[in-house]
Amino acid sequence: MKLLRHWCVRHASGLRRAYDACMWAVPLLRRVLQHLGAQRIERLVLPVERAAKQILFDCKMCGQCVLSSTGMACPTNCQKQMRNGPCGGVRADGTCEADPGMRCVWLEAGEGRRRIGGPAKPFLDPIDHRLWHHSSWLRVNEGTHATAKPITPYPASPRETFSLEQACNSGRFVVTVEVSPPDSSDPAKLIARASRFRDLADAINITDGAGANCHMSSAAAAAIIAANGMTPIAQFACRDRNRIALQGDILGASALGVRNILCLTGDHVTQGDHPGAKAVFDLDAISLLRIARGMRDRATFFSGRKLDVAPNFFLGATVNPFAPPYRERIDNLERKIAAGAQFIQTQFCFDVPLLADFMREVRSRELHKRSAIIVGLGTLGGAKALARMAEHVPGVHIPDALLRRIASADNQKLEAKAALVETIRAVSEIDGVAGVHLMGYRNDEILAEAITESGVRRGISTQAA
């Protein structure tokens, strides 16, 4: 099946032409269907459709076939059920984060779409789980089959802005810092860690099960940060919750004073400390952005039900310029911005020239004018820890020259910090970069020193927002 799947991608243009050529028969078949009845026809058609699609596309029969929009690569083969482009965890060799033996579905989709031609920025709705194992062919015949569509912005109403959004809109260089929630019900350590950056960062990211590991809830930890006079960014990952739970948590975070959220698909459960857990992935990051934006700008749930009071969020998303498919990363970024992302935080940047190449394309599409691009930077204790991260965290790219430099130093921790300071300064000089996002597990002191030594921030006053 894999060989045929790859063949279909290589011949995506011919298959699309064959599909279009068969569309003349749809009106005729519609009359037959009306005469015989849909249920009777589906009992006859479904086995044929299932066999054909499984052989050609390794199809899982979601009932919402979108092959013409995904280059004849079936997205249900994606381990994260991604509907709108690749995740940030594609391995350097192009294989899947969760299944190293399988090539990334969205790498194949990009190749197929290029062969078909046409727009490369469709938006696919979240899967309607009621349609699994039903016929897409019959729904096309009935005219009820949903297709990919461009993202159209909602008309935004005037709303109050808060400190992080104000900082991004001001044009000054922004600094954010990542803090992992504790493995504890006591918030004291969280408050102490975050307070180190009170006068150094515009906002503090609170991770949501980073690396698919269990910690205190991001929404709860962000609310604690806000209650202690600092500005949090709450992360919401699609891995663990369906669309009902995510919308409920977004409302809850808003009620507790959180004003900034980052929408993520999330690392696969196989990467974390509960590899036997069930992965949800009811949404992907782009779908979650659309839903959060609808809650804010239209005051409605995804179902269309009205909210009494809409949440007011500064919406963020992520991008990984350092993992394949490099060409599709810009398209993916543009989709996220169109879906509602007002700020973007990148994966760890250890390769400034690669980032500079990415930013040239960002500027050519003027995406930096539509969303604040905040570059992820950081460090760990030494060369071994960095090499281990590069090996075991899909999507992280660390040049060998940097690893050799740190490994040869007498004090690897100081050398890693020196490299980080140099990178902060270099990144700050790239046109279109709005700021930096500092990450480094249990390296808070080094990160704080790097912020000061780089000269990008010498102490600021933050407000809770």
Q: Which pLDDT tens digit goes with each residue over 278-290?
A: 999 999 999 999 9
Q: Output the pLDDT for position 236.
A: 98
Q: Output the pLDDT for position 384.
A: 94
Query: Domain 163-454 falls in which CATH fold?
Result: TIM Barrel (3.20.20)
Residue 140 CB coordination number (10 Å): 17
* Alpha-carbon span 130 to 178, nearest angstrom: 38
Report phi then psi at 163, rounded to 5: -60, -45
Confidence of residue 460 (pLDDT cuts 50, 70, 90): very low
Confidence of residue 3 (pLDDT cuts 50, 70, 90): low
3-state helix, strand, coil in the chain (%, to 5): 45, 10, 45
Distances (CA, A) of 145 to 128, 148, 318: 11, 10, 31
Residue 309 identity (one-letter amino acid): V
Q: Output the pLDDT for position 393.
A: 87
Confidence of residue 68 (pLDDT cuts 50, 70, 90): confident
Q: Which range among 189-193, 256-260, 299-303, 393-397 shows the weakest confidence by mean pLDDT?
A: 393-397
Q: Which pLDDT tens digit goes with each residue over 311-356?
A: 999 999 999 999 988 878 998 999 999 999 999 999 999 999 999 9
From the number of C-beta atoms within 10 Å of its C-beta (0-12, 13-18, 19+), residue 182 rates as: middle
Residue 202 identity (one-letter amino acid): D
Confidence of residue 195 (pLDDT cuts 50, 70, 90): very high
Q: Output the pLDDT for position 464.
A: 44
Q: Which pLDDT tens digit goes with each residue over 351-391?
A: 999 999 999 999 999 999 999 999 999 998 899 999 999 98
Question: For the whole model, what pTM was predicted?
Answer: 0.92
Residue 53 has pLDDT above 70, yes or no: yes
Q: Are 86 and 332 in contact (CB under 8 A)?
A: yes
Q: Which pLDDT tens digit goes with each residue over 435-456?
A: 999 999 888 999 999 999 999 9
Across the range 68-81, mean pLDDT stands at 90
Distances (CA, A) of 388 to 278, 394, 396, 407: 26, 11, 10, 13
Across the range 397-401, mean pLDDT stands at 94
The CATH 3.20.20.220 domain(s) of the chain lie at 163-454
Q: Are 272 and 319 in contact (CB under 8 A)?
A: no
Q: Output the pLDDT for position 461.
A: 43
**What 3-state class would DSSP assign to 149?**
strand
Across the range 194-215, mean pLDDT stands at 96
- For all residues of the chain together, what is the average pLDDT? 90
Q: Output the pLDDT for position 36.
A: 67
Residue 462 has pLDDT above 50, yes or no: no
Residue 10 has pLDDT above 70, yes or no: yes
Residue 434 has pLDDT above 80, yes or no: yes
Q: What is the dihedral of CA 329, 333, 339, 340, to 10 degrees?
A: 160
